[in-house]
Amino acid sequence: MADKLRLMHVHAHPDDESSKGAASTAKYVAEGVDVHVVTCTGGERGSILNPSFEHPGILENPELIGEIRREEMDRAREILGIKQDWLGFVDSGWPEGDPLPPLPEGCFGLVPVEEAAKPLIALMRSFRPHVVTTYDENGGYPHPDHIMCHKISVHAFEKAGDADAYPELGEPWQPQKLYYHRWSRARFEAIDAAMERHGLEPPYKDRLKDWTFDPEDAKRLTTRVPCSDYFGVADDALRAHATQIDPDGHWFAIPQQIRAEAWPTEDYELVTSHVETSLPEDDLFAGLR
């Protein structure tokens, strides 16, 4: 295309941009693509998941968590070389119990989709991405913020180019391709097999026992982006989210060399394309270059 290629990732919380698609993000940044991450909430209701994390007063003042997570996002943004905007919604938290409790009043998960999508449509019309990525209809996993992120992303993708929709939000712009992040059973099987070849404990053995193979789900993987050269950048960005990520935890249990050998790509599902392309793809910009 005549102008610079632009990619927009829409995520629910700070750290999602570093745990999903970060290596392909770093690859595209290195190639000169303009990458913009949209973060729907501040992650204010996130727990401290790193047992080694220490910050004076955080346990006594849990409202500090939102401020700290913004600082973490600043560091991750610099590592990845991206632009980033906050939509400003409040984290819904992870509901627990049987039955599940209602979501907290005023949280992201309770905002009507047509209203919650407005700031995202405005950003799409100003940044003018050629490609948008987000989560599938299950949110990747069923966190209420991930599911709402999916809903507003799809709505914004459909409405950003419609001159009759939200005319107050700027000149229409139609992104050309919409993708969902995918995590396939085949990837986990390949990593376990590679770990065993190297004499190491396969980390996903128990998970795979409970994972029923679904051929229809497997078909949803359409696009594998080679990006193993950037696994280290993705790991550094993930470690920047120190409240959420244990540097000695499962995220880093598989050596980068084995990950690259077993599954050197990050994977996506092409949902909508307004340009001609052929499947399978190895590039989110297939049909646009």
Binding residue positions for Zn(2+): 13, 16, 146
CA nearest 230: which of 39, 13, 28? 28
| Number of Cβ atoms within 10 Å of the Cβ of 201 | 9
Are 125 and 172 spatial neighbours (Cβ–Cβ below 8 Å)?
Answer: yes
Distance CA 274, CA 165 (A): 19
User: What is 186-254 written as a DSSP string?
Assistant: HHHHHHHHHHHHTT---TTHHHHHT----HHHHTT--EEEE-GGGHHHHHHHHHT-TTT--TTSGGGSS
Residue 142 has φ and ψ, to the nearest 5°, of -80, 45
Residue spans of alpha helices (H) in 31-178: 64-80, 113-116, 118-127, 144-159
Q: Name the phi and psi angles at 172, rounded to 5.
A: -60, 145
User: By C-alpha distance, which of 175, 208, 179, 210 is closest to 192?
Assistant: 208
Known binding-site residue numbers: 13, 16, 146
> Encoding tokens for residue 117?
């999508």
